[in-house]
Amino acid sequence: MRTVRRRSRATGPAAVLAALLGLLMVFGLSAPASAAGLNDAADSMKKVQVYVDPAMNGRFSKEQADKLAAKLKDADKPIFIAVLPASDAYPTKNLFGDLRTKVGIVGVYGIWRGDQFQANSDAKALGKAATDRIAGAAFRSNPKDINATLTEFVDGAAAQTKGEGPQHSTSIAWILVPVLLVVLLGAGVFLLFRRARKRKEERVRAELAQLRTVVDEDITAFGEELDRLDFDPRAPGADDAQRADYSSALDSYDLAKRTMDEAKKPEDVRPVTEALEQGRFALATLAARREGRPLPERRVPCFFDPRHGPSTTDVQWAPPGGAPRSVPACADDAARLSAGQDPAVRTVETEHGHQPYWNAGPAYSPWAGGYFGGGVLPGLLVGTMLGSMLSTPGYAYAGDHGGGGYDYNDGADAGEYSGADFNAADFGNDFGSDSGGFGGSDFGGDFGGGSDFGSFGD
């Protein structure tokens, strides 16, 4: 059974409205003869937010479903409810994730299945801990009472859920009036969006071109190191370990070239410098094996210029006007600093001339992130231009999201359509599992936790 939902705010003629509501009753509330599984549930929930499988009509009536739909309409929140039988049409494995994918709207999802009730949510709509507690309290307070449980859950969740409910117009007048405005303004809006998109694309191309010059220099420098390397893997003195190091260096060089050739946006540069870092460490290991020295510790590259290879020690250094901090340095730069000299710093071309890479702007975040990784770089760059950008709220650093520079995927907010683009961890647990229940055994003992505080139901 499906229920009427969303949203009539027009002031059209009563006869037209009544006719439309009648059609909605015919097409929106009529129940199919048998369960159709998640596809049918999702199609209904995208329109009316409440879905009741026909097999559950005896336990959750049409009148109760209508009242719940009206409550959700008044709340105007992206909360979705499904009442389902415990049948193969709704397997417990990935039930939440599959339903969330098919509905495609950022929100809160509550599922009553058989004699169990459970809820999950997108973090942008409502935090998981809050969702668990509201659902758990509603279920425990109303044993096996579907209507009371769902009503209490909707009341509690609506007070905290962010965003608005899905927009569904039911009035011809409400549709026709905006159409004229859309026609008049559509061209202007389209031009604005196209201009914004064009600016974004131009920025991405400019940043990639800026990075390409620097990365090509890095690749060339590494290739020259390989050319100067006096090593023949077929020589009598070469062993398997040395050949493996040499092969790893060659593979890293080829990977870096190929990845840079295929780069389409700034964050694509990060795996290039990761490959170069791996290749230079392989060369350092090969040199140690050939000279009979202890193998080098796996360390990040020299902070002052990653082309110097892996760092060998940490030194105290401060950018101009900044506070001292410990940074990794190669042996040559460590010696220069010890002698009171300046290190050999990597500079890049900017609109203000050549500058150290850390003062060249945010475009260099993915380049530096590939060399130094997400956990190291922000601390090293405190007090520099790039460090200031990395600490700005809303700035997505390459080490945090696997990308670089700006966050080019803003994502959907609560109540907006996101399709399958959502955090699978929010919906990844199977229905009825301990990890997908409401609290689990670690839910602090103050509220009667322990082994009885897992998923609900028999």
pLDDT the model gives residue 188: 72
| 378: helix, strand or coil | helix
Token reading at 64:
């109760």
Residue 209 has pLDDT above 70, yes or no: yes
Q: What is the chain's alpha carbon radius of gyration, rounded to the nearest angstrom?
A: 30
- pLDDT: which is higher, 402 or 457: 457
Residue 96 has pLDDT above 70, yes or no: yes
pLDDT the model gives residue 29: 40
Tell me how far CA of residue 63 lies from CA of 68, 166, 318, 435, in angstroms: 9, 22, 71, 34
Q: Give the E-state strand segments of 325-395 in sequence order.
A: 325-329, 347-350, 353-356
DSSP run (H or E) holding 84 = strand 79-84
Q: Give the E-state strand segments of 286-441 in sequence order.
A: 313-317, 325-329, 347-350, 353-356
* CA max distance for the chain: 96
Which string of b and e fits 401-417 if b means at least 16 CB within 10 Å?
Answer: eebbbbeeeeebebbbe
Token reading at 364:
């260099």
Q: Residue 330 in contact with residue 299, Cβ under 8 Å?
A: no
pLDDT the model gives residue 387: 55
Rounded Cα distance, 182 and 189, in Å: 9
Handedness of CA 352, 353, 356, 362 (dihedral sign): positive
Instruction: State the residue for tokens 């937010």.
Output: 49
How would residue 48 be classed by pLDDT, with cut points 50, 70 and 90?
A: confident
Rounded Cα distance, 84 and 90, in Å: 7
Region 404-426: mean pLDDT is 57
Token reading at 195:
């201009």
Token reading at 340:
């009171």
* Phi (first) and psi of residue 289, to 5 degrees: -65, -45
Residue 5 has pLDDT above 80, yes or no: no
- pLDDT: which is higher, 451 or 193: 193
- pLDDT: which is higher, 295 or 427: 295
Give me the residues paired with residue 120 across strands: 109
Residue 190 has pLDDT above 80, yes or no: no
- pLDDT: which is higher, 26 or 183: 183
| Residue among 415, 348, 304, 394 nearest 75 (CA) | 415
Instruction: State the residue for tokens 């530096």.
Output: 368
CB count within 10 Å of CB 326 equals 13
pLDDT the model gives residue 409: 35
Per residue in 195-204, pLDDT tens?
888 888 888 8
| 439: helix, strand or coil | coil
Region 140-149: mean pLDDT is 93
* Angle of CA points 51, 38, 455, to nearest 5°: 80
Residue 23 has pLDDT above 50, yes or no: no
Residue 243 has pLDDT above 50, yes or no: yes
Q: Output the average pLDDT for the chain.
A: 77
Token reading at 344:
């050999």
Per residue in 370-397, pLDDT tens?
888 755 555 566 556 565 544 444 334 3
Per residue in 249-300, pLDDT tens?
999 999 999 999 999 988 899 999 999 999 999 999 999 999 999 999 999 8
pTM comes to 0.45
Type of residue at 356: P
| Helices 14-29 and 172-228, packing angle to 10 deg | 50
How would residue 429 be classed by pLDDT, with cut points 50, 70 and 90?
A: low
Residue 405 has pLDDT above 70, yes or no: no
Q: Give the strand pairing for 108-113 and 79-84.
A: parallel
- pLDDT: which is higher, 335 or 350: 335
CB count within 10 Å of CB 114 equals 17
Q: Residue 72 in contact with residue 50, Cβ under 8 Å?
A: yes
Q: Residue 349 in contact with residue 361, Cβ under 8 Å?
A: no
Per residue in 432-453, pLDDT tens?
754 344 333 333 333 333 333 3
Region 154-171: mean pLDDT is 77
pLDDT the model gives residue 249: 93
pLDDT the model gives residue 180: 72
Token reading at 5:
């939902």
Q: What is the DSSP letter of 304?
A: S
Measured in residues, the chain has a length of 458
| Residue among 131, 125, 122, 176 nearest 156 (CA) | 131
Token reading at 307:
């082309």
- pLDDT: which is higher, 26 or 425: 425
Region 173-186: mean pLDDT is 67
Residue 411 has pLDDT above 60, yes or no: no
Alpha helix locations (H) across 171-232? Answer: 172-228
Rounded Cα distance, 126 and 106, in Å: 10
Per residue in 70-92, pLDDT tens?
999 888 899 999 999 999 889 98
Residue 34 has pLDDT above 80, yes or no: no
Rounded Cα distance, 55 and 318, in Å: 70
| CB neighbour class for 177 (10 Å; exposed up to 12, middle 13-18, buried from 19) | middle
